Amino acid sequence: MLSPNEFTRVLENPSERRERYAEMLPAFYSHATDAYRHHWADSFHLPPFQDGQSLPQALAAQEHRLARVAGLRAGLRALDVGCGVGGPALSIAEHSGAHVTGISIVPWQLETAEKRAAAQGLQNLTEFRNADMMALLFDDGTFDVAFSFDAICHSPDKDTVYAEIARVLKPGGVFVGADWLCADGLTEQEYQEWIEPVCVSSALPDVLSLGRMVSGLTRAGFLIDDYCDLAARGDMTPNWEIFERAAETLTEPRPAGRELMYQHCLSTARAGRAGKFIIGYWSARKPTD
């Protein structure tokens, strides 16, 4: 584990964030996991809200919608890329009857996911593995579906992740998900002003624009069925409000971990409200030939 001073130095240097991501992420989630579970939920993603929805309802609706888009059902195998503590994997397995394998680079998150699966009686429909999404531990053509919720942004090489997912999908397999992105067309100055603070406080090497994400999926061989800023599918404002309320609880004095989460909440809400930081959605297929 990185020392606190070294962790801070890595976060503040974009090249260090890329080169040392495998050390940086467990250090980040040593602070963020409990904070997210307390202030958010066991599903670590930002959903679009429909009128009157609570956070649990919006999260479940987004997870079940992606499962429907992917055609998940009993007898199919799905891969959850960056599963966290298992929130979406468990929700989708229970909802669809499909078997879900979740991977994470953070070992203690997997322990929590396994305990939650046991508590919900979903051991037979789920499996959790310690793995790097840039080097998946599975044979070619293992899965019918892959999905990811707000996780690939943590990778320093998104193209490699997309190529690995294409490799482990069967021909005709579906890849759906959402990820932390920036708006298309930002200048370098705008990126540094709005997005770099999000990257520093969220342990992200960098984030792609919506257009660059689609280009990366295409380079990996995927056929794109749909993509959009999730703001087109509902109201994203409740997410920013939750971050802002969480920041209000992190009052002085703040030790290092709480300061990081404070900056994480404020920078994400600020850039999200300005429309510079977005959650991008995609649905894509691996060709059958």
Write out the H or E segment, with its range, that includes residue 64: helix 55-70
Query: In this predicted model, what pLDDT tens digit does every residue of 106-148 receive, in sequence order?
Result: 999 999 999 999 999 999 999 999 999 999 999 999 999 999 9
Q: Span 4-285: which CATH code? A: 3.40.50.150
Please tell me what DSSP assigns to residue 280: E
- For residue 1, is pLDDT > 80? no
The residues pairing with 223 across neighbouring beta strands, listed in sequence order, are 285
Query: In this predicted model, what pLDDT tens digit does every residue of 36-69 receive, in sequence order?
Result: 998 899 999 999 999 999 999 999 999 999 999 9
- Tell me which residue of 127, 147, 164 sits closest to 65, measured CA to CA: 147
**Identity of residue 96:** S
User: What does pTM read for this prediction?
Assistant: 0.95
Query: In this predicted model, what pLDDT tens digit does every residue of 202-212 receive, in sequence order?
Result: 999 999 999 99
Domain extents in the chain: 4-285
* CB within 8 Å of 104: residues ≥ 6 apart: 82, 83, 84, 110, 113, 128, 130, 131
Confirm if 216 and 159 have CB atoms less than 8 A apart.
Answer: yes
- For residue 177, is pLDDT > 70? yes
